[in-house]
Amino acid sequence: MTVEHSPIVFLIQGSSENPYKVTFTFNSQGNLNAFCTCPAGQKGQYCKHRMSILRGDGKAIVSGNQNDIVVVRDWLTGSDVEMAIHDLGEAEAAAEEANKQLSKAKKALATAMHKQSN
């Protein structure tokens, strides 16, 4: 039996005067889709408004349906979107570590270039 789910729509207050519309759909094949009317979302790029909901953060929701986050997060479980979020988290952690190493190397170079000769 196929079960169709009604879309869940959130209004998210972002940097624009008007809230962005974030729509989540989940179809009978288990595909989770998320669309946002922000400039990044309209271009199909990474969007912090969709991610905030997928991470369970409802602080910016102005549509009053924060409780629907639970449903969206249930749809997330086991989906390809969940795996992509996991991979993003690992990449962010690796980038943070690389940035620390880069900063350390730059400091070492600066110190090496400013040594006083005897």
pLDDT tens sequence across 25-45: 998 888 899 999 999 999 999
- In the chain, how many domains are there? 2
Report which of residues 19 and 14 the model is more confident about.
19
Does residue 89 form part of some domain? Answer: yes
Same domain, 14 and 62: yes
Q: Is the dihedral of CA 95, 101, 106, 109 positive or negative?
A: negative
Q: For the whole model, what pTM was predicted?
A: 0.80
**Predicted local distance difference test score (pLDDT) of residue 37:** 96
The answer to whether residues 60 and 13 touch, using CB atoms and an 8 Å cutoff, is yes
Whether residue 13 has pLDDT greater than 90: yes
Q: Residue 5 — very low, low, confident or very high, per pLDDT cuts 50/70/90?
A: confident
Domain identity same for 22 and 63: yes
**β-strands 8-12, 20-26: how paired?**
antiparallel
Whether 8 is in a domain gets the answer yes
Among residues 43, 45, 48, which one has the least CA distance to residue 12? 48
Residues 32, 72, single domain; the answer is: yes
Q: Which domain holds residue 63?
A: 1-77
CA 82 to chain centre: 11
Q: Are residues 30 and 70 in the same domain?
A: yes
